[in-house]
Structure 1
Amino acid sequence: MSLKVELKPGERIILGDCLITNEGGRTKLMIDGKAPLLREKDIMTPEAADTVAKRIYLAVQSMYLSQTPADHHATYFGLVRELIVAAPSTLRIIESINNKILTGSMYKALKDARDLIEYEQELMANAKRSERLL
């Protein structure tokens, strides 16, 4: 079964270890085969990874795109330990990400890592509100 991808002008995707940029008008691609694919909106760059949850997302993204995901496990688990110590309430989301990594559902792990970023942002916003009240 083919994967259908439509790219807007200037939009980029990562397919396997290749960056593809649409230089023309709207483009439709039919992709046969199995390779990790990330749309531009889902790509985390090292420069944008400015929180622990974003760095976790980047580590999961690296695992998803890599032919040897285990190369990124040490980084991932170090960041996970750091986040759980700082915010134990993140454990539920971390466990979900871990389960998906262990079962090879890397794209689903990325989706959960996106949820972790949103949760971290909520925690930081709540902490800032609490500081203002003091």
Structure 2
Amino acid sequence: MPLKIELKPFERLLIGGAAIRNGSRRSSFVIETVTKFLRESDIITEREADTACKRLYLTLTVLYLADDPSGPENLFVAQASEVMAMVPSMAPFIRDIHAQIEAGDFYRALKRGKDLVAYEASLAERLSKAQPDSPADET
């Protein structure tokens, strides 16, 4: 079944091994064959991967795009174990992601990884609100 994609002005899209950037106007096109693709909003770069869950998401991106997922899958397992040890409440997300990987549905695993990153951000926000302001330096 063909997939219609609409791109915002200057939005990036990865299709297979090609990176595409839209022009100055909104456009749409149809992908008629089965291929791996990612919208710019689903991509985290190495520079942006500044938390444990974002690094895990980056690994999921590599796993999704890889021709041979065995290497990235091993890295995912190691990273996921560390994340669960640090924050056990993330285990349901990681179990869901692992189940999708086991089923070979790497795109759904990636989507669940995005949920994990959002959960991590919400925990960080709650933690920052819960910590009292540090006392001002007295002179």
Distance 2:133 2:48 in 1: 30
Structure 1 residue aligned with 2:3: 3
% identical equivalent positions? 34
Deviations 1:50-92 (A, max 9, x none): 0000011111111111111112022211211111111011101
Secondary structure of 2:131 counterpart: helix
Secondary structure of 1:110 counterpart: helix
Q: Measured at CA, do residues 133 and 21 of structure 1 come closer, stay the same or move farther in structure 2, by a change above 3 Å?
A: closer
Which structure has the larger Rg over C-alpha atoms?
2
Moved over 6 A (4+): none
Q: Measured at CA, do residues 87 and 28 of structure 1 come closer, stay the same or move farther in structure 2, by a change above 3 Å?
A: same
Bigger proportion of residues as helix: 1
Secondary structure of 1:77 counterpart: helix
Structure 2 residue aligned with 1:68: 68
Q: Give the superposition deviation at 1:24.
A: 4.3
Structure 2 residue aligned with 1:35: 35
- State TM-score, norm by structure 1: 0.93
- State TM-score, norm by structure 2: 0.90
Distance 1:10 1:133 in 2: 41
Secondary structure of 1:38 counterpart: strand
